[in-house]
Amino acid sequence: MYLRPDTFVIFDRVRSPRPEFRKTWLLQAMKRPERAGPHWVVTNGRGRLFVQTLLPEDPRVVLVSGEDLYAYDGRSFPPSREGGPAPECRLEVSPPRPATTDLFLHVLTAADSGTAAVPAGRLGLQGGEVVAAVGEAKVGFRTDGTGGWVERGGARTPLGGRWSRGRLRRRPAGSRGAGVS
């Protein structure tokens, strides 16, 4: 979900029939991220990206760079061709314990490189929803299906429509399909 002017809220729900299957959220970074309290900051030239992990709680975070950048799980995946500037580091976020279902909730905020901090993302869990609060905005995502809502200035807008020719169309109640996030 894009929150104007500079923030993205990303929610991923990953299920596996085998809890021991490690699920990992990845961010390819042009420069090596630096720790900023519980979160990470990537500075590249005049830009800065603040990466806040709200879920999983107590995540396992690994920075991968150098020769290991194009390797994963013991296998090598080098680029097949030169395609411009390449990332210097990969940020990997995994849950601390095996589970059948894992939830990932991240807040990414873009800023000028002189920006020292951004509003902290706050996590809320309400029944079958996870909620990310950033500044005055709140974004809720269903944990058991697609859809959710965004709330700003006291007005709540449901998510879960379908895009058609650049416009959001609402699905009829009870219909199935991809949510808009």
Which residues 6+ apart lie within 8 Å of 58 measured at CB? 96
Per-block mean pLDDT, blocks of 10 residues, the chain (181 long): 95 96 96 95 98 97 93 86 88 97 98 96 94 96 92 91 50 45 34
Instruction: State the Rg of the chain over Cα.
Output: 18
pLDDT of residue 13: 96
Domain spans in the chain, listed from the N-terminal domain onward:
2-68+85-169
pLDDT of residue 180: 37
* CA–CA dist 2, 6 (Å, integer): 8
Domain 2-68+85-169 falls under CATH 2.60.40.10: no
10 in Cβ contact with 106 (< 8 Å)? yes
* CA–CA dist 78, 60 (Å, integer): 25
Full DSSP string of 37-85: TTEEEEEETTEEEEEEEEESSS-EEEEEEGGGGGEETTEE---SS--SS
* CA–CA dist 151, 142 (Å, integer): 15
Q: Would you state the structure tokens that stand for residue 118, as one six-digit string?
A: 């951004």
SS (H, E, C) 5-27: CCEEEEEEEEECCCCCCCCCEEE
pLDDT of residue 172: 53
Three-state secondary-structure class, residue 33: coil
Vertex 11, ends 180 and 135: CA angle to 5°? 90
